[in-house]
Amino acid sequence: MERIPILKMGRFLLVTIQVDMHDELAMTLQEDLTGRIIEDRAQGVLIDISSVEIVDSFIGGMIANIAGMARMLDAETVLVGMRPAVAITLVELGMSLSGVRTALNVDKGMAMLQAAREEKRRFSGSY
Amino acid sequence: MERIPILKMGRFLLVTIQVDMHDELAMTLQEDLTGRIIEDRAQGVLIDISSVEIVDSFIGGMIANIAGMARMLDAETVLVGMRPAVAITLVELGMSLSGVRTALNVDKGMAMLQAAREEKRRFSGSY
């Protein structure tokens, strides 16, 4: 299983990280995800990392990259299910993941994306 | 990463199978899932197998078990994202997975679970 599945839920995409990431898998995920954002006209990306127990600068960088790419394509990124140990490590590594929102779980992450979308619509005055 | 994460989405639970299943992991998943159905009062379970390329009687049996257990706990199971090759293999193995519904993707699976829930409510006349 050489790809991480990207699930479409309404206007959002969900990615669950379950396996150890390596260079090639991370590249494939980034390509797949950016492609799917366009294809599905996704307005948000949820990345579930509740299974991730250990994080390093590679994974941290990958998440920051994905969020940056998604933003370019007009989609918000929300990181869900972060374990306390992972939060500690990310801060210790000096990766603040600025611009990436976090939520406790998928439900809350989706609510956050929906709220962000509503707000955007109100300010832009259009759909 | 010794567990498969179970994500709560409203009244439903979502499980994405990304890694090769073995006995212990399957047992853990069954225990976790039945526990979560009760805990979250889930009314449906979505199992995404879009990453599963090869299926054998073990995985087929595990899916049938999960669906059976969920049904006992008053939750419907919908299998989403099955690849054509997997469907062929399951039929060839003589596993018809009776009682397990299937849907093309998570969106359609959720719509199916929602419809089933509405119908149930109408017939029972109560929430």
pLDDT of residue A1: 55
The predicted complex's ipTM stands at 0.74
Q: Model's pTM, two decimal places?
A: 0.83
Range name among A21-25, A44-48, B112-116 with the lowest pLDDT average: A21-25
pLDDT, tens digit, 9 for 90 and up, residues B43-57: 999 999 998 988 888
**Closest CB to A5 among B5, B7, B16:** B16
CA distance A102 to chain B (A): 15
A14 in contact with B, Cβ within 8 Å = yes
- How many Å apart are CA A77 and CA A66, to the nearest integer? 8
Give the residue-averaged pLDDT of B39-68: 91
Q: Which residues of A touch B4 (CB under 8 A)?
A: 18, 51
In percent, the amount of chain B with pLDDT more than 90 equals: 64
Question: Measured between beta carbons, which residues in chain A are less than 8 angstroms from residue B107?
Answer: 8-10
B81 touches chain A (CB under 8 A): yes
Closest listed residue to residue B10, CA positions, set B122, B82, B114: B114
Q: Is the pLDDT of residue B109 over 70?
A: yes
**What pLDDT is stored for residue B106 in this prediction?**
93
Please state, in angstroms and rounded to a whole number, the distance separating the CA atoms of residues B25 and B15: 13
CA distance linking residue A56 with residue B13, whole number of Å: 29
**How many of the other CB atoms lie within 10 Å of CB of B102?**
17
A19–chain B nearest CA distance, Å:
7
A2, A6, A16, A29: which to substitute to probe chain B, counting the most B Cβ within 10 Å? Answer: A16
CA atoms within 13 A on the CB side of A16: 27
**Residue pLDDT, tens place only, A9-43:** 999 999 999 888 888 888 999 999 999 999 999 99
Q: Say what the pLDDT of residue B23 is.
A: 85
Q: Which residues touch A40 (CB under 8 Å, ≥6 apart)?
A: A8, A13
Alpha helices in chain B, H assignment, sequence order: 23-39, 57-72, 84-92, 106-124
Nearest CA to B15 out of A48, A62, A35, A65 is that of A48
Spatial contact of B123 and B22, defined as CB atoms under 8 Å apart: no
A15, containing H or E segment: strand A12-16
Residue B115 has pLDDT above 80, yes or no: yes
Euclidean distance between CA atoms A44 and A39, whole angstroms? 13
